[in-house]
Amino acid sequence: MKVAINMAVTANGIIAKPDGSTPFVSEENWAYHLGWVKAADNTALGRVTYDVLKNSGELKLFKGAKIVVVTRRPKRSRARV
């Protein structure tokens, strides 16, 4: 099995601002990440990232991919795109 990680993180370790935004992620970076997801047909997202993508409507960009949501507070239902 091959495992790869693609993360958007600043040099000082910030993954996102408190409001969930990632202004340091360029359109090119986002397109590159989506290419990874489509090629692998799966992705793992943190719960906050999943919620931000779902609430913004951008989760549809992952349509067809299997999504694993990493959380300390598991829900009983499965995540749906």
77: left (phi over 0), alpha (psi -120 to 50) or beta: beta
How much of the chain, in percent, has pLDDT values that exceed 90?
1
Examine the pLDDT at 79 and tell me if it is beyond 60.
no
Count of structural domains within the chain: 1
Residue 77 has pLDDT above 70, yes or no: no
**For residues 6-26, b (16+ Cβ closer than 10 Å) or e, as one string?**
eebeeeeeeebeeeeebeeee
Structure tokens that stand for 33 in this block: 């990440």
Report the mean per-residue pLDDT for the chain: 81
Using one digit for the tens of pLDDT, what is the confidence trace for 18-45?
887 788 888 898 888 888 888 888 888 8
Residue range of the domain that includes 10: 1-81
For the whole model, what pTM was predicted?
0.70
Say if residue 51's pLDDT is above 80. Answer: yes
